[in-house]
């Protein structure tokens, strides 16, 4: 009898622990009675749902270059602190490794430590924004970033595709890695390049792949026709590759989370 009660209690505890939106979907089958006792808890105030940015960035992506820079400069702590300890939360735009690789190595090697820090801080907003909120945010351009002062971004919503515009790049959000208040991490396909750090458009690395002609056309968009078709093609390509990465990234993150929830259950 007592043993049964204990099991029931831990089941309830497990459901509370797992009541983040991601889990709510996964654990749909278990005992019916619990549903009566527990309200469906749509949005419990800042749930103790701790997102570890380093863990997240190391399994999603690949975002190793960005994560390495964050760790080397300690900007990771600034972001994690904002994620842990503020009501506002944080939104981070994370460039893929390929975005860094497409720029010449000297682009970053030449930066001072302070410039590098500012560049990283420039990739985050000191507030959580869901994808749907970017729509109204775009009326507030230019938007302040974590780097403060003049380091602003312009957000535009082009029929559902959100672009994050810096002086020398205008990447789109190619996917959402996580978007659960208070932490949003969105993948972008180019590094954000503010004019405060880069006086001119940083040179691209010599392209290892073919078709530099096409990339050039879409960058400079000389005629509406060729610009449009090549960027549409690039869009389709990056879409298929990024959605694949994200699928894998989120799956492994869920597995990590599930494993830690499992650990908690065992402790009970
Ligand atoms: C964030 O919270 C986690 C878990 O409570 C903790 O381990 C970590 O040290 C915290 N980090 C910061 C920068 O506050
Ligand atoms: C980087 O620094 C090197 C050596 O200091 C210099 O030759 C080069 O022009 C610099 N590159 C850029 C892009 O500023
Ligand atoms: C952002 O928008 C503002 C206001 O529309 C404009 O003045 C500024 O030049 C834009 N910045 C960039 C980087 O496009």
Q: Quote the pTM value.
A: 0.64
Q: What is the pLDDT of residues 20-40, one digit of tens each?
A: 444 444 444 444 444 445 445
The predicted structure's pLDDT at residue 60: 92
Q: What is the pLDDT of residues 135-172, one digit of tens each?
A: 787 788 999 999 998 999 999 988 889 999 999 999 99
How many residues does the structure list for the chain? 268
Own/partner contacts of 20-28, CB < 8 Å, gap of 24 or more, are 20/47, 20/49, 20/180, 21/180, 22/180, 22/254, 22/257, 23/257, 23/258, 23/261, 26/254, 26/258
| Per-residue three-class SS string for 17-77 | HCCCHHHHHHCCCCCCHHHHHCCCCCCCCCCCCCCCHHHHHHHCCCCHHHHHHHHHHCHHH
Cβ < 6 A, ligand 2 pocket: 106, 110
54 CB within 6 A, ligand 1:
no
The predicted structure's pLDDT at residue 213: 55
| Residues in CB range of 256: below 8 A, 6 or more apart | 55, 59
User: What span, in angstroms and rounded, lies between the C-alpha atoms of 69 and 81?
Assistant: 17
81 CB within 6 A, ligand 1:
yes
| Residues in CB range of 129: below 8 A, 6 or more apart | 91, 137, 184
* Residue 153, H or E segment: strand 152-158
The predicted structure's pLDDT at residue 267: 45
* Structural domains of the chain in order of their starting residue, each with its CATH number: 2-45 (no CATH), 53-200+246-255 (2.30.180.10)
Angle between helices 75-85 and 113-121 (to 10 degrees): 30
Ligand closest to the CA atom of residue 204: 2
Strands 143-144 vs 152-158: parallel, antiparallel or unpaired: antiparallel
The predicted structure's pLDDT at residue 202: 85
User: What span, in angstroms and rounded, lies between the C-alpha atoms of 223 and 120?
Assistant: 34
β-partners of residue 155 are 164
Ligand 1: residue of 47, 82, 84, 85 to mutate (most ligand atoms within 8 A of CB) is 84
The predicted structure's pLDDT at residue 209: 57
The predicted structure's pLDDT at residue 240: 44
The residue ranges of the chain whose pLDDT is under 70 are 1-49, 207-268
Alpha helices by DSSP H, the chain: 2-17, 21-26, 33-37, 53-59, 64-73, 75-85, 97-101, 106-109, 113-121, 134-137, 212-220, 224-267
The predicted structure's pLDDT at residue 248: 43
167: left (phi over 0), alpha (psi -120 to 50) or beta: alpha
The predicted structure's pLDDT at residue 173: 95
Cβ < 6 A, ligand 3 pocket: 141-142, 154, 165-167
Q: What is the pLDDT of residues 90-109, one digit of tens each?
A: 999 999 999 999 998 888 88
The predicted structure's pLDDT at residue 48: 55
Closest-lying ligand 3 atom to the alpha carbon of residue 166: 13
Ligand 2: residue of 104, 105, 110, 202 to mutate (most ligand atoms within 8 A of CB) is 110
Q: How many CB atoms lie within 10 A of CB 250?
A: 18
Residues 186 and 216 sit within 8 Å (Cβ to Cβ): no
User: What span, in angstroms and rounded, lies between the C-alpha atoms of 128 and 179?
Assistant: 8
Residues 183 and 196 sit within 8 Å (Cβ to Cβ): no
Quote the ligand 3 centre to 58 CA distance (angstroms). 33
């Amino acid at each position: 009898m007592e043993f049964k009660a204990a099991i029931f209690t831990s089941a309830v505890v497990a459901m509370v622990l797992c009541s983040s939106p991601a889990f709510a979907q996964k654990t749909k089958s278990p005992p019916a009675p619990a549903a009566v006792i527990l309200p469906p808890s749509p949005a419990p105030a800042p749930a103790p749902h701790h997102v570890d940015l380093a863990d997240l960035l190391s399994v999603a992506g690949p975002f190793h270059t960005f994560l390495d820079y964050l760790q080397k400069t300690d900007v990771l702590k600034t972001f994690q602190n904002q994620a842990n300890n503020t009501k506002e939360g944080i939104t981070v735009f994370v460039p893929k490794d390929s975005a860094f690789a497409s720029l010449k190595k000297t682009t970053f090697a030449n930066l001072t430590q302070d410039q590098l820090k500012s560049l990283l801080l420039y990739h985050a907003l000191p507030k959580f924004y869901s994808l749907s909120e970017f729509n109204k945010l775009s009326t507030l351009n230019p938007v302040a970033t974590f780097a403060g002062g003049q380091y602003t971004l312009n957000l535009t919503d082009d029929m559902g595709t959100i672009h994050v515009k810096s002086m020398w790049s205008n990447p789109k959000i190619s996917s959402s890695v996580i978007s659960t208040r208070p932490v949003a991490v969105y993948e972008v396909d180019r590094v954000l390049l503010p004019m405060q750090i880069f006086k001119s458009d940083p040179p691209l690395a010599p392209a290892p792949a073919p078709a530099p002609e096409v990339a050039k056309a879409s960058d400079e968009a000389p005629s509406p026709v060729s610009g449009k078709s090549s960027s549409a093609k690039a869009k389709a390509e990056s879409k298929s590759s990024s959605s694949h990465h994200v699928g894998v990234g989120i799956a492994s993150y869920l597995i990590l989370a599930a494993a830690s929830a499992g650990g908690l259950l065992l402790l009970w």
